[in-house]
């Protein structure tokens, strides 16, 4: 790190860029505290392991959407397509090949990667509207396939008879959900580190340039289409992994893995937490799931009314204004507690 | 064979009436309104309630459904939608999905989640034969009404002063405003008429498409297909797109029921790839 700082003061432009990137990539204190808290959670709240598992999976799914929405500016209405592909692949793999969770996770993520790569060329062209339609169309198409191919997927009854072997041959996925929670959290953490590395790399910077102005990005020599294909494919891998986690930890896959509501929900929670900032999806997932737990007790089938209300109010107030206020609060709190530079959620965009 | 074509045309015309408001919304204000189906659903439920609870005749229900949905559209446009025109598309999408979710849950709460039955008057049910081709009376009625609407709309847009102002505003909002055309008022009126037409379509389609609280979600993709494939630069594009969609959907369900809606989505994605601006749009 010392030579990086040296280079920043004296060295060439390339070295200065490298130093800036390294500085952005250095883990912040608040982040370390956050992850410590996350990993204490399974021990501190053993009775809420199932809920925690769902939150971790949702957070991974949200992270995946944030990669394309927050960093590359692609509005997708069909992100559940890759989630569903991952879930069904993991389920079928466990049913017909082997119940080993890690092999299933890898195969499912690989299948989602392939589908993501194949469909990434569809989002390159056209406007926001075309992209919305195409992503929505792909998700609906896959949903229709899963529904019609009932002989393979179980159709509307869902895929049953998925049996997952114990993790590393030792930790069984039982009803308490302890193994599931730890497993999902570990996968989330590893994939998060990779995503963090990715968005602070030159690749990630070029994505943001494309998001803000594709024409100018192309003019300074960024291969726009190749970058978009790459990030879309990576996001599909992440979503597939999230789907696989859900299929493995619940040992069941149903059609709602591909449902429109799932795509819409994840869009909502990324927006609640803030786009273009990896932790946004985590905050969104936490708030969303806890709210769902709270409201579900009162009015189970009308949950989506409140989701809708939150969406409408959020847009009318203005997303930026809301996140700006939150960031200012955080910054003030950080300044009040310590003299060190404000860290945490101060960079929504 | 001809019966399928006939049913498909009827279905397509209905789709056009349902979706034409959306094509204007998208073309004029560039607003991605995923909640368009909610207005159609409102029209459908108004009809069902009026007919089944208060015994209002079917023909009288249709204009009432139009007025109810148009009023709803006008109020929402003036209070909520107009604040969001200048925002990015993501905000439009989030906002209108929110409206859809609220509408679905609210209707579910008030009316129950079951499918609503619409009892058509006897003179509209059954079939009659024309040169050996079986023709459903109700579908013939749909084609007649929707055909009249299409001609009226086309004349209104092409021949009236309001129509020429609307076209000017669609082509270039800023210049139109500079020329003193009251773009905001035109848009409010157009939004209301578009919502009203959706409501009318929902009322007429309640029997054909089925009416339950998930209506806006189920048919959202159909409306979007009509608009995206037809383009937003006139009425002819969406009309042809709606007819194609109707015939393809009915034929697909008849000849290859195992594939379901699969064919439609494939065709839509293929067309969007080849012509991102829609089938009939002028390149910009």
Q: Give the mutation candidate from A80, A129, A318 for the B interface (greatest B CB count, under 10 A).
A: A129
Is A335 a domain residue? no
pLDDT digits (tens, 9 = 90+) for B249-277: 888 777 776 666 677 777 777 777 777 66
Is A114 found in the same domain as A26?
Answer: no
Q: Which residue has the higher pLDDT, B206 or A337?
A: B206
Q: Do B276 and A122 touch (CB under 8 A)?
A: no
Residue A80, Cβ density class (10 Å: 0-12 exposed, 13-18 middle, ≥19 buried): buried
pTM above 0.90? Answer: no
Q: Cα distance from B94 to chain A (closest Cα, Å)?
A: 6
A166 located within any domain: yes
Do A125 and A4 lie in one domain? The reply is: no
pLDDT value at residue A7: 46
Q: Mapping DSSP to helix (H, G, I), strand (E, B) and coil, where does residue A253 land?
A: strand
Structural domain boundaries enclosing A25: 1-44
Q: Write down all domains in chain B, each with its CATH number in brackets.
A: 2-274 (1.10.3470)
Query: Any alpha helices (H) in chain A, and if so which ranges?
Result: 2-10, 13-25, 29-44, 49-66, 80-96, 101-120, 128-148, 150-153, 178-199, 202-212, 214-219, 224-250, 260-273, 279-298, 303-317, 319-337
Using the beta-carbon criterion (under 8 Å), do A148 and B259 form an inter-chain contact? yes
Any idea of the CA torsion for A19, A22, A23, A25, to the nearest 10 degrees? 160
- A129 contacts in chain B (CB < 8 Å): 26, 32, 89, 228
Identify whether A279 is part of a domain: no
Question: Would you say residue A246 lies in a domain?
Answer: yes
Is residue A62 in some structural domain?
yes
Residue A17 and residue A63 in one domain: no
Residue A9 contacts B where some CB pair is shorter than 8 Å? no
Per residue in B191-230, is it b (16+ CB within 10 Å) or e — as a string?
Answer: bbbbbbbbbbbbbbbbbbbbbbbbbbbebbbbbbbbbbbb
**Domain shared by A35 and A115, yes or no:** no
In a domain, A271, yes or no: no
Q: What mean pLDDT comes out for the span A320-333?
A: 72
| A17 and A81 belong to one structural domain | no
Looking at residue B284, its pLDDT comes to 42
Q: Which two tokens stand for residue A297?
A: 């007790």
CB contact under 8 A, A312 and B276: no
- Residues for chain A: how many in total? 349
Q: Tell me: the pLDDT tens digits for A22-67?
A: 777 777 777 777 777 777 777 777 777 778 788 888 889 988 998 8
Average pLDDT over residues B208-237: 79
- So what's the pLDDT on residue A344? 41
Between A343 and B143, the higher pLDDT residue: B143
Interchain proximity B87–A315, CB inside 8 Å = yes
Of residues A304 and A173, more confidently modeled: A304
Q: Which residues of B touch A (CB under 8 A)?
A: 26, 32, 80, 83-84, 87, 89-91, 93-95, 97-106, 108-109, 113, 217, 221, 224-225, 228, 258-262, 265-266, 268-269, 272-273, 276-277
A7 and A50 assigned to the same domain = no
From chain A, the residues in CB contact with B272 under 8 A are: 126, 130, 133-134, 137
Q: Taking residues B108-131, what's their average pLDDT?
A: 73
| A contacts of B104 (beta carbons < 8 Å) | 304
User: Is A309 inside any structural domain?
Assistant: no
| Tens of pLDDT, residues B63-112 | 888 899 889 988 988 888 888 877 888 888 888 888 888 888 888 888 87
Asked which of A260, A295, A317 is the last residue of a domain, the reply is A260
Question: Given CB atoms, is A77 within the 8 Å cutoff of chain B?
Answer: yes
Q: Are residues A31 and A143 in the same domain?
A: no
Q: Do both A22 and A49 map to the same domain?
A: no
- For B262, the closest of A141, A301, A311 (CB atoms) is A141
Quick one: tokens of A180? 């599931």
The answer to whether residues A80 and A151 belong to one domain is: yes
Tell me the sheet residues that pair with B129. B134
Tens of pLDDT, residues A116-171: 898 888 788 767 777 888 888 888 888 888 887 777 777 777 777 777 767 676 66
Instruction: Count the domains in chain A.
Output: 2
Does some domain include residue A296? Answer: no
- Mean of all residue pLDDT scores within chain A: 78
d(CA A333, CA B99): 36
């Amino acid at each position: 790190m010392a030579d990086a700082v040296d280079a920043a003061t004296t060295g060439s432009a390339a070295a200065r860029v490298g130093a800036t990137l390294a500085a952005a990539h250095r883990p912040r204190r608040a982040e370390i505290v956050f992850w410590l808290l996350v990993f204490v959670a399974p021990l501190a709240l053993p009775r809420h392991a199932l809920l925690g598992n769902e939150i971790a999976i949702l957070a991974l799914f949200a992270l995946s959407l944030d990669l394309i929405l927050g960093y590359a500016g692609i509005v997708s209405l069909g992100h559940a397509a890759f989630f569903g592909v991952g879930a069904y692949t993991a389920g079928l793999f466990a049913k017909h090949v082997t119940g080993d969770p890690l092999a299933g996770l890898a195969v499912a993520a690989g299948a989602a990667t392939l589908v993501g790569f194949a469909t990434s060329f569809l989002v390159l062209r056209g406007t926001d509207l075309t992209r919305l339609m195409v992503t929505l169309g792909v998700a609906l198409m896959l949903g229709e396939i899963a529904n019609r191919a009932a002989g393979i997927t179980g159709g509307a009854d869902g895929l049953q008879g998925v049996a997952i072997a114990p993790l590393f041959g030792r930790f069984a996925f039982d009803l308490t959900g302890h193994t599931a929670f730890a497993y999902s959290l570990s996968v989330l953490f590893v994939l998060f580190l990779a995503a963090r590395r990715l968005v602070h790399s030159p690749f990630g910077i070029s994505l943001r340039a494309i998001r803000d102005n594709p024409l100018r990005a192309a003019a300074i020599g960024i291969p726009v289409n190749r970058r978009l294909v790459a990030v879309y494919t990576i996001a599909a891998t992440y979503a597939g992994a999230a789907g696989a986690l859900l299929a493995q930890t619940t040992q069941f896959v149903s059609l709602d893995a591909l449902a429109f509501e799932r795509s819409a929900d994840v869009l909502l929670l990324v927006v609640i937490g803030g786009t273009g900032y990896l932790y946004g999806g985590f905050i969104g997932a936490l708030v969303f799931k806890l709210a769902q737990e709270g409201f579900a007790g009162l009015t189970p089938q009308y949950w989506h009314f409140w989701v809708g209300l939150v969406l409408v109010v959020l847009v009318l107030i203005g997303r930026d204004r809301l996140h700006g206020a939150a960031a200012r609060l955080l910054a003030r709190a950080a300044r009040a507690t310590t003299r060190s530079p404000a860290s945490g959620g101060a960079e929504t965009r | 064979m001809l019966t399928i074509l006939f049913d498909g045309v009827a279905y397509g015309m209905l789709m056009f009436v349902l979706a034409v408001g959306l094509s204007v919304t998208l073309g004029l204000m560039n607003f991605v309104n995923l909640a368009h189906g909610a207005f159609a659903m409102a029209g459908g439920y108004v009809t069902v309630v009026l007919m089944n609870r208060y015994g209002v005749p079917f023909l009288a229900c249709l204009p009432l459904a139009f007025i109810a949905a148009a009023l709803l559209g006008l109020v929402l446009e003036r209070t909520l939608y107009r604040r969001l025109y200048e925002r990015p598309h993501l905000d439009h999408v989030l906002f209108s999905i929110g409206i859809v979710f609220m509408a679905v849950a609210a209707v579910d709460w008030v009316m129950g989640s079951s499918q609503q039955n619409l009892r058509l008057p006897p003179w509209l049910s059954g079939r009659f034969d024309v040169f050996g081709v079986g023709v459903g009376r109700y579908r013939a009625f749909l084609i007649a009404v929707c055909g009249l609407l299409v001609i009226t709309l086309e004349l209104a847009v092409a021949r009236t002063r309001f129509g020429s102002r609307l076209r000017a505003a669609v082509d270039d909002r800023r210049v139109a405003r500079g020329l003193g055309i009251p773009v905001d008022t035109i848009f409010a009126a157009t939004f209301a008429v578009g919502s009203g037409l959706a409501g009318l379509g929902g009322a007429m389609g309640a029997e054909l498409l089925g009416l339950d609280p998930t209506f806006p979600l189920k048919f959202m993709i159909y409306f979007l297909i009509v608009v995206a494939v037809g383009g937003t630069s006139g009425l002819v594009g969406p009309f042809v797109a709606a007819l194609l969609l109707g015939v393809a959907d009915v034929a697909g369900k008849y000849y290859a029921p195992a594939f379901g809606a699969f064919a439609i989505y494939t065709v839509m994605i293929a067309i969007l790839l080849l012509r991102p601006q829609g089938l009939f749009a002028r390149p910009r």
